[in-house]
Amino acid sequence: MDSALKIYQSLQLPGEIKKISEKVFDSEPLTSEDAIQLFQCNDMALLGFLANVVKKRLSGDYVYFNRNFHIEPTNICINHCKFCSYRRHQGQKGAWECSIEDILADVEKFTAKGATEVHIVGGVHPDRHVNFYADMLKSIKKVAPALQIKAFTAVEIDQMCQMGNVTIEEGLRILKEAGLESMPGGGAEIFDETLRAEICPDKTGSAEWLRIHSVAHKMGIPSNATILYGLLENYEHRVDHLNRLRTLQEQTGGFNAFIPLKFKRENNAYSKIKETTLIEDLKNYAVSRIFLHNIPHLKAYWPMIGKQAARLSLNFGVDDLDGTIDDSTKIYSMAGGEEKPSASSAELIEMIREMKMVPVERDTHYNILKTY
Ligand code: V47
Ligand code: SF4
């Protein structure tokens, strides 16, 4: 940190940016206006430098990864998010519904290869209710008792509880007892109500998304948070989104990681919108890392941005490369992400070492399983 401070002091920075940089060095939270200024700054070296100060404070030279796989139980969905390339309606060509047997076959296959976590996210199915999903989790735990389950976005939980006629509290209690250990961060999209109504009109609202995570945190279920960026939003919208997350985190402390999700445009209603540049992606990581000082981890979801960009993101505040995934997800490949996303742990370790950082294999709760 001392050498970082010396380098910083030798830089000739414009007044406003200098004040913001001093706040970062003094561990003082940024205001929303500060974050907007950082988004407008094109000095990528400075943004990376500042993000790295925050990253080092939180996780030193460590970069986390885990051995995981995804289960996408269905792509049948009651919602009509305009950015989605994946949803189908019941009976439509390309729709799928996994049975519990299909899911257990995957669980056996991937745990035999050493997976420690399963990530379960799918469409918002019209009929399946909370007890169906609780049975799914119980059967997984029976076959693989040590496998940690990170499952269901707040949007899926909202619908399955409505279908089961139970409150969110009751539904989460049922799921926790069945083996749910943490929740993924999807469904957050963009919290600004006007934009949300435009891009995902029938999805669970922002306030309810935040409430469901707050209830989960209070019940001892940690979760992640995401933002879908690069669609129609401006910097004010992004900062508003970060600010709502930071405020909830002050109250509950239950978010483990923040995951920016870059909009991918293939096969959806927004395919005319240009995808963000690498510079914009790195800037988004950096400002998120600096502003969300109270969320411990920043994850680069490499199937979406590619492995080269994921390597670079480690110099812009990222300390988690998610996982091995093993070609088990379709959400992003259908929208134009990596075709068959898979990385061996040796490859993830190599990627982290190339950036002169320390690879750390983690579990769902960021407990260290092994350092390399
Ligand atoms: O909410 C859908 C996104 C999310 C597109 O918590 C798209 O570890 C970009 O929950 N372009 C679901 N994004 C995925 C999710 C997730 C993913 C990775 C890690 C974690 C975690 C959670 O996928 C949705 C939506 O924001 N999405 N379509 C698209 N065309
Ligand atoms: Fe359904 Fe999720 Fe696609 Fe929205 S993003 S339509 S909720 S599968």
**DSSP 3-state assignment of 85?**
coil
Ligand 2-lining residues (CB < 6 angstroms): 77, 79-81, 84, 86-87, 123-124, 155, 200, 203
Nearest CA to ligand 1 atom 4: 186
Across 119-146, average pLDDT: 96
What does pLDDT average to over the chain? 93
Expressed as residue numbers, the domain containing 344 is 55-358
Give dist(CA 153, CA 256) in Å, integer.
15
Q: What is the pLDDT of residue 302?
A: 86
The 10s digit of each residue's pLDDT in 232-248 is: 999 999 999 999 999 99
Task: Identify whether the C-beta of residue 49 lies closer than 8 Å to the C-beta of residue 10.
Answer: no
CA distance 355 to 347: 13
Identify which ligand lies nearest to the alpha carbon of 156: 2
Q: What is the pLDDT of residue 343?
A: 79
DSSP H or E run through 110? helix 100-112
**Block residue for tokens 């509950």:** 252
Give the ligand 2 atom nearest the CA of 155: 7
> Which pTM was predicted?
0.95
261, 250, 236: which is closest to 295 by C-alpha?
Answer: 250
Residue 330 pLDDT greater than 70, yes or no: no
- What digits encode the pLDDT tens for the residues 195-245? 999 999 999 999 999 999 999 999 999 999 999 999 999 999 999 999 999
Q: Answer whether residue 332 shows pLDDT above 70.
A: no
Question: Which of 75, 77, 128, 160 is the best mutation target for the ligand 2 pocket, counting ligand atoms within 8 Å of the beta carbon and taking the most?
Answer: 77
Alpha carbon of 139 to ligand 1 centroid (Å): 25
- Residue 271 placed within a domain: yes
For 348-372, what is the mean pLDDT?
95
Q: Which of 37-41, 70-74, 123-127, 302-306 comes out lowest in average pLDDT?
A: 302-306
**CA 311 and chain centroid, separation:** 17
The answer to the question of residue 326 being in a domain is yes
User: Which atom of ligand 2 is the closest one to the Cα of 75?
Assistant: 8
pLDDT in tens, 76-132: 999 999 999 999 999 999 999 999 999 999 999 999 989 999 999 999 999 999 999
Which ligand has the minimum distance to the alpha carbon of residue 77?
A: 2
Per-residue pLDDT band at 365 (split at 50, 70, 90):
very high
Which residues have CB under 6 Å of ligand 1?
Answer: 83-85, 121, 153, 184-187, 189, 224, 226, 228, 259, 261, 263-264, 268, 301, 331, 335
* pLDDT at residue 1, as a whole number: 58
For residue 59, the CA-to-ligand 1 centroid distance in Å is 25
Ligand nearest to the CA of residue 264, numbered in listed order: 1
Q: Please, which pLDDT band fits residue 7 given cuts at 50, 70 and 90?
A: confident
Q: Rounded to an integer, what distance in angstroms lies between the CA atom of residue 287 and that of residue 51?
A: 7
Lowest-confidence segment of 15-19, 126-130, 140-144, 176-180 by average pLDDT: 15-19
Asked if residue 13 is part of any domain, the answer here is no
The pLDDT value given to residue 14: 77
Ligand 2 mean position to 127 CA, how many Å?
15
User: Which residue is closest in CA terms to ligand 2's atom 5?
Assistant: 84
Question: Which tokens belong to 76?
Answer: 């049948």
Q: Which atom of ligand 1 lies closest to the CA of 188?
A: 1
Contacts within 8 Å (CB) and 24+ apart, 156-162:
156/121, 156/122, 156/124, 156/187, 157/183, 157/212, 158/204, 158/208, 158/212, 159/78, 159/124, 159/125, 159/204, 160/128, 160/129, 160/130, 160/132, 160/133, 161/130
Cα dihedral: 2, 350, 70, 226 (round 10): 30
86, 159, 198: residue to mutate for ligand 2 pocket, most atoms within 8 A of CB? 86
For residue 251, what pLDDT is reported?
A: 98
Q: Examine residue 26 and state whether it is found in any structural domain, yes or no.
A: no
Does residue 30 fall inside a structural domain?
Answer: no
Is residue 198, in this structure, part of any structural domain at all? yes
Residue 269 above 90 pLDDT?
A: yes
Per-residue confidence at 27, pLDDT binned at 50, 70, 90?
very high
Q: How many domains does the chain have?
A: 1
CATH at 263 = 3.20.20.70
Residue 10 pLDDT exceeds 90: no
From 74, 75, 81, 90, the mutation candidate for ligand 2 (largest count of ligand atoms within 8 A of CB) is: 81
Which of 12, 45, 70 shows the shortest CA–CA distance to 329?
Answer: 70
Residue type, position 186, single letter: G
Per-residue pLDDT, averaged over 246-252, amounts to: 98
**Ligand 2 centroid to residue 51 C-alpha, Å:** 32
Atom of ligand 1 nearest to the CA of 264: 11
The whole-angstrom separation of Cα 318 and Cα 259 is 9
Do the domain assignments include residue 176? yes
- Answer yes or no: is 347 within a domain: yes
Q: What Cα–Cα distance (Å) separates residue 328 from each residue in 116, 168, 287?
A: 14, 29, 30
- Nearest 5°: phi and psi at 126? -70, -25
Q: For 170-184, what is the mean pLDDT?
A: 98
Closest CA to 324 of 179, 117, 180, 61: 117
Question: Is 54's pLDDT higher than 90?
Answer: yes
**Mean predicted confidence (pLDDT) in 277-292:** 98
Residue 304 pLDDT: 86
Residue 2, pLDDT above cutoff 70 = no
Average pLDDT over residues 174-182: 98
Residue 47's closest CA among 334, 350, 285? Answer: 285
Give the mean pLDDT of 323-343: 70
Average pLDDT for residues 181-185, to the nearest whole number?
A: 98
